[in-house]
Amino acid sequence: MLKHRLFNVLIAIVLMLALALTVREAIATTAIASGTDSVITCKSLPSRYSLHTEYVKEAGMRVAYTEDGPTGVDGGLIYLLSAYRTCAR
């Protein structure tokens, strides 16, 4: 009987821990998604006409640049182009 009760308590603790971690991650995701710093204003984007590629000898490949610098870091070009799409609406 004691083993059965101990097993039930252990299962309850594990379920509470899993629920607490899920709630913590949901709150963190909401805080990131609703932050005002993550909102892009269309006026802050570089000009579409400044998009160009340059050959970087050190890397041995072409890198996309804007007037503000390289855009290929961590998917920056894809993010930039998707931001332009939302500004066109």
Question: What pLDDT sits at residue 59?
Answer: 81
Strands, E assignment, the chain: 52-56, 61-66, 69-70
What is the three-class DSSP state of 4? Answer: helix
Least confident window among 2-6, 19-23, 39-43, 47-51: 39-43
Say how far apart CA 58 and CA 44 lie, in whole Å: 30
Residue 48 predicted with pLDDT over 80: no
Q: What is the pLDDT of residues 55-89, one digit of tens each?
A: 888 888 888 887 777 776 666 676 677 666 566 54
Q: What is the pLDDT of residues 4-39, one digit of tens each?
A: 999 999 999 999 999 999 999 988 887 776 655 545
